Chains A and B, each alone.
Chain A
Amino acid sequence: MSRAIVALALFVTGVAIPAAQDAALPNKADSLKFAIIGDSGTGASAQYKVAEQLIASRAKFQYEFVLMMGDNLYSGSGEKDYKKKFELPYKTLLDSRVKFYATLGNHDNANEKFYKPFNMNGERFYTFKPKPGVRIFSLDSNYMDKSQVDWLHKELAASGSDWKIVFFHHPLYSSGGTHGSDTKLREQLEPLFLKYGVDAVFSGHEHFYERIKPQKGIYYFVSGGAGKLREGDVGKSNMTAKAFDTGYHFMLVEVGKDVMNFQVITDQGKVADSGALPRFSDADKKKMSTLTQ
């Protein structure tokens, strides 16, 4: 049994999860460090509280950028909305030149792609390579038309990166009572993810946190509670590895050569989940496609 399969077994049973609160990422000098916020743009006190924790966490964990899982600006996209729902809560980070990379949610105006601090390059889907060995893809899951699928084919095929990380708004797997898995989107995207060896997928839309057991060798996270919360909405299913829906949260992620560490922090500064996930080889992924699902 390979190392990855053993790690998967630990991951599924939860043994690999370190204790809460004390849990620390490796915080290695040469790793890629970033944060994740989802469904953040309410402008309400909860968003600001999460933002405070996000800012505080950077004192110990110097993440380079923040991925935004969509619904970046609820209920309007005027100048005041950008200010109240983005520029003010994250001012300290913006002043420190922390970059934000956004994806569009169903509450977003498509013209957010022209907002420079969202780093979307004027496009509703885009890719960037934050460091050698890691490539990140942002998709527009509101409108998965042919032009976007063709583009994704092209970019995934051209990517030789070790880690392929994809993020978009609607989760392919979710145990949420309000939304749940987007199975039609899954039918479209999952074959591509498997074909080109995507490692991890992050989504929002559901206003809670859920870590999904690896599906066909791919790690899935739902993280849509950085501004909105739907308490009691996670009906833990057999695909749930860990769920948290009693508080707001954000994520910290550290990508090393062969391992991705993550930590989920609440608006109270508590650790709701954390762990270390090995990067599966293509051969392991093939094996796991029969073990999981």
Chain B
Amino acid sequence: MVRYMRHSSRSEATENSVTRISSALVMLTLVMSASTVRAQEKFENSPDARVLGDFKARVEKYEQLRKKADDSAPPLKETKDAAKIKDAQQGLAERIGAARAGVKPGEIFTPEIAGVFRRLLRPEAKQQQTKEAMKEDKPVVVSFKVNGPYPDKQPVATVPPNVLAALPQLPKDIEYRFIEKHLILRDSRANLIVDYVLNAIP
């Protein structure tokens, strides 16, 4: 219920009847549950289940760390004060950065996990249409580092849907991105590079 209302405008919320929302939610929850289960099964039944389970646990650990960083400051709400948005992003990045001080590349993408990701990505990245989509407006980034910011003035390369579908799902506001051939795990709210896989695609 909360999720549905959050995406809908306030005026819409008043227009829709409770009955309509309830019936739609019941139907759609069933559809979504089925597809979510299918997506989970795809990875859980694969030979890589153990490694991907490890990846999931590491991402969850990061998510918990971010939640603590989130909880130590007032939550960012919609605002017409643009400075507040930037300050919140900066503040969150600093708190996460401090909590992860000294973190090295590979904390999430261990060598074993990185190997599986390279293998999962290869068939998708070899498709011509995917290659073309990924090279569009790609960022020009000289260097990047774990716990460092994603360059604010650079575009984010689009990640084609088939590439996303080949990889495990991520929690909200954590996303896969590419810089050249390198896969980046990015916290979009803190604009922070969480970890990366070098030469993830051919």
Quick one: which of B76, B83, B152 contacts A79, CB cutoff 8 A?
B83
Q: Closest chain A residue to B84 by CB distance? A: A114
**9-residue interface stretch from A15-23, A143-151, A231-239, A285-293:** A143-151
With A111-B89, A157-B24 already in contact, the answer to whether A123 and B153 are too (CB < 8 A) is no
**9-residue interface stretch from A182-190, A217-225, A242-250, A267-275:** A182-190
If A78-B82, A127-B12 are given as contacts, then 18 extra A-B residue pairs at C-beta distance below 8 Å, sorted by A number, are A77-B82, A107-B137, A109-B89, A111-B76, A111-B191, A115-B82, A116-B78, A127-B7, A144-B161, A145-B169, A146-B164, A154-B24, A157-B31, A179-B136, A183-B129, A183-B133, A184-B129, A184-B160
B181 within 8 A of A: no
Distance, CA A77 to CA B191, complexed state (A): 12
B39 within 8 A of A: yes
> In the assembled complex, which residues on chain B have CB atoms less than 8 Å from the CB atom of A83?
82
A142 within 8 A of B: yes
A115→B89 contact, CB < 8 A: no
Closest CB of chain A to B182's CB: distance in Å?
17
Residue among A110, A146, A184 with the highest chain B CB neighbour number at 10 A: A184
Name B72-93 residues within 8 Å CB distance of A.
76-80, 82-83, 85-86, 88-89
B64 within 8 A of A: no
A117→B80 contact, CB < 8 A: yes
A76 within 8 A of B: yes
A6 within 8 A of B: no
Interface size class of B (residues with CB under 8 A): 35 or more
Closest CB of chain B to A132's CB: distance in Å?
8
Name A161-178 residues within 8 Å CB distance of B.
170
B130 within 8 A of A: yes
B199 within 8 A of A: no
A157→B27 contact, CB < 8 A: yes
> In the assembled complex, which residues on chain B have CB atoms less than 8 Å from the CB atom of A92?
none
B118 within 8 A of A: no
- Name 18 interchain pairs, CB-CB below 8 A, sorted by A: A78-B152, A106-B137, A106-B157, A117-B80, A121-B6, A121-B8, A122-B6, A126-B8, A126-B9, A127-B8, A128-B8, A129-B12, A143-B164, A145-B161, A146-B169, A147-B172, A158-B24, A185-B161
